[in-house]
Amino acid sequence: MKIYGALEAGGTKMVCSIGNENCEVLERISIPTGYPEDSIPEIINYFRSREICALGIGSFGPLDLDRKSRTYGHITSTPKPGWENYPLLPMLAEALDVPAEMDTDVNAAALAEIKMGAARGLRSCLYVTVGTGVGGGVIAEGNLVHGLVHPELGHMLLRPAEGDPTPDGFCPYHKGCLEGLAAGPAIEKRWGVSAKDLPDDHIAWKVESEYLAQMCVNAIVAFSPEKIVLGGGVMHKMHLFPMIRKRTQELLGGYVRCSMITEKIDEYIVSPGLGDNSGVTGALLLALEAEKNAR
């Protein structure tokens, strides 16, 4: 049996998994994200010992994903000490001597959702994670979207929500961007209570669903995804889904006349079909692709 490696590279932990060709996860370990000189050897040792045939990486970004670039596969700008300009993909591919593919963590998750999850069979989808940060992965007309860099959906500018005492949000870069308004830490800063401790009927959720609905509207008018998948820790609050769906319809005001939005929105804005495994599954799919491309 061939063993594939999957690295979910995050700001706080590096999750290393192995899986089979059906993307079933066989084993998973977690390494705290320290300096590269500490974390990378551990990652290499793990995957080497498991004799993987290919590696897929879903990473925090921003990343250089331009295959023609001299710095292809590097993490570019990040405040994370030691990781700025780090050559994550070439470093691991060379040390492990296996074919490897990399994309953003959220593009990997979008890939998993369209191949095996909630967006299966479609040609486009948006995957958004709402947790410590907010990120989005995009597939359009069957392709992962990179473009100039790659989507950074967490930094979409949004209109102030009624009832929000802090409508400028908490992003150090942008006044009024999605992540600064709707990520877990923003909820906690705004209300002085951790998101997980806020009761379901707290106005916090009205404000939260307003921002996430505005993001859905702007995604719909910008690139018209066939499915919007919302994952991440904050979205474990399942009562958000009906609120976001209703508000998305209200904000669109009947302008986009498509039954998927006007009638079947319960099937349109949904939880990940793969639960919390979208990321690892996406990284395994990238590993399968790496192996196929290397043949």
Least distance (Å) between residue 145 CB and its own copies: 5
Query: Of these, 75, 92, 111, 144, which contacts its own copies (CB under 8 A)?
Result: 144
- From the list 19-27, 51-59, 140-148, 195-203, the region that binds its own copies by CB under 8 A is 140-148
Residue whose CB is less far from its own copies, 62 or 82: 62
- Residues 201-230: x/- map of binding to its own copies (CB under 8 A)? -------------x--xxxxxxxxxx----
Under rule CB under 8 A, residue 246 binds its own copies: no
Which one of 25, 44, 198, 256 is in contact with its own copies (CB under 8 A)?
A: 256
Binding status of residue 286 toward its own copies by CB under 8 A: no
Nearest to its own copies of 81, 254 (CB atom): 254
For the CB of residue 65, give the shortest distance to its own copies in the complex, in Å. 10
CA distances from 245 to 182, 203, 215, 228, 250 (A): 16, 17, 11, 11, 9
With CB under 8 A as the contact rule, which of the stretches 29-37, 147-155, 188-196, 236-244 interacts with its own copies? 147-155
Length of the chain, in residues: 295
Question: In the range 73-112, which residues lie near its own copies by CB under 8 A?
Answer: 76-77
Contacts of 202 (CB under 8 A, 6+ apart): 191
Of positions 29, 31, 44, 140, contacts its own copies by CB under 8 A: 140
Residue nearer to its own copies on the CB measure, 20 or 218: 218
Site membership for its own copies, residue 132 (CB under 8 A): no
User: Least Å distance between CB 200 and its own copies?
Assistant: 26
Q: Which of residues 151-180 bind its own copies (CB under 8 A)?
A: 151-160, 173-174, 176
DSSP assignment string, the chain: ---EEEEEE-SSEEEEEEE-TT--EEEEEEEE---HHHHHHHHHHHHHHTT-SEEEEEE-S-B---TTSTTTT-B-S-SSTTTTT--HHHHHHHHHTS-EEEEEHHHHHHHHHHHHSTTTT-S-EEEEEESSSEEEEEEETTEE--TTS---GGG-B-PPPTT-S-TT-S-SS-TTBHHHHHSHHHHHHHHSS-GGGS-TTSHHHHHHHHHHHHHHHHHHHHH--S-EEEESGGGG-TTHHHHHHHHHHHHHTT-S--HHHHT-GGGTEE--TTGGGHHHHHHHHHHHHHHHHH-
Binder among 32, 34, 41, 147 for its own copies (CB under 8 A):
147
Binding segment for its own copies among 23-31, 113-121, 141-149, 200-208 (CB under 8 A)?
141-149
Interface contacts to its own copies, rule CB under 8 A: 62, 76-77, 123-124, 136, 138, 140-160, 173-174, 176, 214, 217-226, 251-258, 260-261
